[in-house]
Each structure stands twice: as C-alpha cells, then as structure tokens.
Structure 1
Amino acid sequence: MSKRRAQQLAPVVEMAERAEREAAVQLGRAQALQGQAEVKLGELERYRADYQQQWMTEGQRGVSGQWLINYQRFLSQLETAIAQQQQSLDWHRNNVDKVRQAWQQRYARLEGLRKLIQRYQDEARQLEDKREQKMLDELSQRLAGRERF
C-alpha cells in the first residue's frame, strides 16, 4: 500500500520539481537584474565624483558664469539620475527578496514531498521485510515439524 502511495505521488513530485526549477531560474534572473542595477548606480556615482573633481580643478583656474550654470545644471541632472537609479536598485532588491521567498516555498514543498515519499518507501520496505520474516519463520517451523516425524 505504501509503495503504491509513493508511486502515485510521482507526478506531483515532478510538477513540484518543475515549479522549483522555474522559481530558481526566476531568482537567477532577478539577481542578475539587481546586479546590473548596482553596477549602473556605481557607474553614475563614479561619474559624479569625477565630475565634482573636474569642478575642483576648473574652479581653481577660474570659470565663467556660464560654465558654472552648465555645471550646476548637469550636476542636478546627474543627481536626479542617481536618485532614480537608487530607487530602481531598491525595487530590484525587494523583487529579489520576493522571488527568493517564492523559490524557498517551492523548494520546501518539494523537499516535503520527497520526505513523504521516502517515508512511504521505508514503510513499504518494512512491511516487505516483515512478510519475508514471517514466511521464513513459517518455513522454519514447517521444516522443524517435518524433522520430528
């Protein structure tokens, strides 16, 4: 009986394995997108630092009012881009957390099913061992009974 129950669960396990693999792929994609967002933010921040260093260098030499206005305008745009990229990174981090939780749930379900099947298989094995032992005991008793006559 337990062996048959384990066999009946095989399609359910296959579905759970597919769902877990899909979730793992989605997690990988989400992590890759988060990594890209982190790289882009780092590039923007380095660009800002370089641009600010350029201000320090040019400022020591003296700059025109127009140069200063252009510098401030561009720096403002750069700060906006950095803030937007930070928001994007925050979104990607939250998404990775959600996708990871979904994967963990699917993985836990799959492991639970595997343990259940293992338990059914162990039960079936124990029942079979008991049947064999009973048959051996009965055979042994019969042989012992024949030897008396």
Structure 2
Amino acid sequence: MASSTAERLQPVIEMAERAEREAARKLGQGQVLLTQAEDKLGELERYYRDYQQQWLSRGSSGVSGQWLMNYQRFLAQMEVAVTQQQRSVAWHQDNLDKLRRQWQQRNARLDGLRKLVERYLRQARVAADRHEQKVLDEFCQRLAGRRPGTE
C-alpha cells in the first residue's frame, strides 16, 4: 500500500521538480539583471564624478556663461539618471528577494514531498520485511511439524 502511494506521488514530485528548476532559473536571471543594473549605476556614478572633475579643472581657468548653463543642465540630467538607476537597482534587489523566497518555498515543498515518499517507501519495506518474516516463521513451523519422530 505504502509503495503504491509513493508511486502515485511520482507525478507530483516531477511537477514540483519542474517548478523548483524554473524558480531557480528565474532566480539566476534576476541575479544577472541586478548585477547589470548595479554595473550601470556604477558607470553612471563614475561618469558623474568625472564630469564634476572636468568642472573643477576647467572652471579654474574660466568658462563662458553658455558653457556654465550647459554644464548645469547636463549635471542635472546626470543626477536624474543616477537617481533613476538607483531606483532600478532597488527594484531589482526587491525582485531578487521575491524570487529567492519563491525558490526557497518550491525547494522546501520538493524536499517535503521527497521525504514523504521516502517515508512511504520505508513503511513499504518494513511491511514487506514483516510479511517475509511471517512467511518464514510459518514455513519453519510447518517444517518442524513434519520432522520424522515428532509424529
């Protein structure tokens, strides 16, 4: 009985394995996207700092009013880009956390199902061992009853 229950659970385990693999794939993909967003943020921040350095070196030698206005406009655009990318990184981090929780849930479910099947298989082995022992005991009793001289 327990062995057949374990066999009937096999399709459920296969579905759980597919769900766990899919969650792991999405988790890996989420990690890649987060890394890309962090890299892009780093590039923007470096570019922003480099541009500020240009201001310091160029500003010390004197600049035109037009250059100053263009610089301020560009710097404002860079700040917006950095802020947007920071939000993107935060979103990807939150998404990665969600994907990690989903994978952990699916992995825990799969582990639970595997343990359940193992328990059913163990119960089936114990039942089979008991049955085998009972058959052997009955066989030994019959043999003992047939011994010559005991009749």
TM-score range, shorter chain: over 0.9
2:93 and 2:44 map into 1 onto residues whose CA distance is 18
| Partner of residue 6, structure 1 | 6
| Partner of residue 88, structure 2 | 88
In percent, how many aligned pairs have the same letter?
Answer: 62
Structure 2: any 5+ residue segments left out of the alignment? none
Equivalenced residues, count? 149
How far the C-alpha of 1:143 sits from its partner, in A, is: 2.1
Equivalent residue runs for 1:1-149 within 5 Å: 1-147=1-147, 148-149=150-151
Counterpart AA for 2:27:
L
Name the TM-score, length of structure 1 as normaliser: 0.95
2:81 and 2:116 map into 1 onto residues whose CA distance is 52
Structure 1: any 5+ residue segments left out of the alignment? none
- Note the alpha carbon deviations across 1:20-58, whole angstroms, 9 max, x for none: 111111111111111111010000000011111111111
My pick for the range that moved more, 135-144 or 36-45, is 135-144
Name the TM-score, length of structure 2 as normaliser: 0.94
**Which structure has the highest helix share of the two?**
1
